[in-house]
Every structure is written in C-alpha cells, then in structure tokens.
Structure 1
Amino acid sequence: MAYVVNGEQLETDDQGFLLEPDYRDEVVDAIAAAEGLALTDRHWSVVRYLREQYREHGHTPNFRNLLKGMGEILPGCDSKSLYDLFPTGPAKQGAKVAGLPQPLGKGGY
C-alpha cells in the first residue's frame, strides 16, 4: 500500500505505515481518508501530540502514555474518546494517520 500526496508516492510497510515520517498536513489528510476517518480538531490534537512525541523521543507513546498526555491537553479525554477518534487503536492508528512509522512493540514506549 502506498499513498500519493501531491503526485509523490510515499513508501509504506505492509500495514500502511510510512517508512519515514512525513509532517505535511496533506499526508494526514490522505492517510485519514484511506482509513475512512473524517478529521476533527480533536483528531488534529492527537496528531500534533504524536508528532511532537516522535520528534522528541524518536518514537510514539504507548496507549497508556498517550492517554496521560492527551488528558493534559484535552480536558475530559479518556480511553473511550480516544477510541472514538481512532477505532482500530489510538496509539497505532493515530501514529499511522499522523504520518509516522509503525510504533515499536505494542504501540510505542
């Protein structure tokens, strides 16, 4: 599976994660469309958080750390609300939509 953004084909692994991070907003839109997600401001908050964590640590947080971090950013954010945004798994699907490589292990650190 590959995504085409502005005429450029982006390389992915067999699960559709980018092999190299790409921080363009157009990439998020393309991957979200392929995942069947209509992005809201809350989606973008998660995307920005995951990208920030990837830049800072070289990988994305696992679900527990994602939940903790998002709880500080979005009041009332809980596991149900994250799964409402990313139904196949907030840590993994969120990273995919954010244009990041596949998380380590069970979803990051």
Structure 2
Amino acid sequence: MGYVVDGVELETDDQGFLLEPNYSEEIVSLIAEAEGIKLTDDHWLVVNYMRDQYKENGHTPNFRNMLKGFSEIRPGTDSKFLYDLFPLGPAKQAPKVAGLPQPLGKGGY
C-alpha cells in the first residue's frame, strides 16, 4: 500500500508507514484519512512536533518522552489528550500520520 503525492508513489512498509519521510501537508491528509482521523489544529501541533523531533534526532520519541516534550509546547497536555487525537497509540500513530518512518522499538527513544 503506497500513497501518491504529486504523481509519485511513496513506498510504505507492511504497516503503512512511509519508508522515507515526507514533509508535505498532502501526505498528512492522505494518511490521516486512511487512519480514520479528521485533522484538527491539535493534530497539526502534534504532527509538527513529531516532525521536528525526527529532524533533530533522526527518530521520534517514545510515549513518555513525547508527553513530556509536547507538554512544553502545550501546557496541560495529558495522555488522554494525546490518545483522543491518536487512539491507536500516539507514539506510533502520530509519526505515521506525520509522514515519518516507523518508530524504533516500542515507539522511539
């Protein structure tokens, strides 16, 4: 299953994660739709946070570090808030929707 952006098919693994990161807005919309997620401004905050983490570290954070780091951007964030946005697991589903490769281990560093 691949996604087509600007006439180019992007390769995915067997779980639907992109093999190479793609930072376009279009890929976020395509993957979110495939995941059954209706994007809100809060989704975009998380997507941009995950993309920044990937660019800085070469991978995305595990859930604990994601919650801690994202709380600095949006004070008052708790696990319920993140699970409401990404019900299949924020540390796994958020990078997928963000157009990033599958996280390491159990959800990043």
Range of TM-score over shorter length: over 0.9
Give 3-state SS (helix, strand or coil) of 1:88's partner. coil
CA–CA separation in structure 2 for the residues paired with 1:7 and 1:85:
29
Gaps of 5+ in 1: none
Structure 2 gaps, min length 5 = none
Count of residues paired in the alignment: 109
Q: In 2, distance between residues paired with 1:86 and 1:6?
A: 26
Which secondary structure state, in structure 2, belongs to the residue aligned with residue 9 of structure 1?
strand
Match of residue 26 from structure 1: 26
Match for residue 2 of structure 1? Answer: 2
Q: Superposition pairs for residues 1-109 of structure 1, below 5 Å?
A: 1-109=1-109
TM-score, normalised to structure 2, is: 0.97
Shift of residue 63 of structure 1?
Answer: 0.2
CA distance in 1, matches of 2:61, 2:77: 16
User: The residue matched to 2:71 in structure 1 has which SS?
Assistant: helix
Q: CA deviation at 1:7?
A: 2.1
Q: TM-score, normalised by structure 1?
A: 0.97
State the 1:100 CA deviation: 0.2
Deviating beyond 2 angstroms after TM superposition, the runs of 4 or more aligned structure 1 residues are none
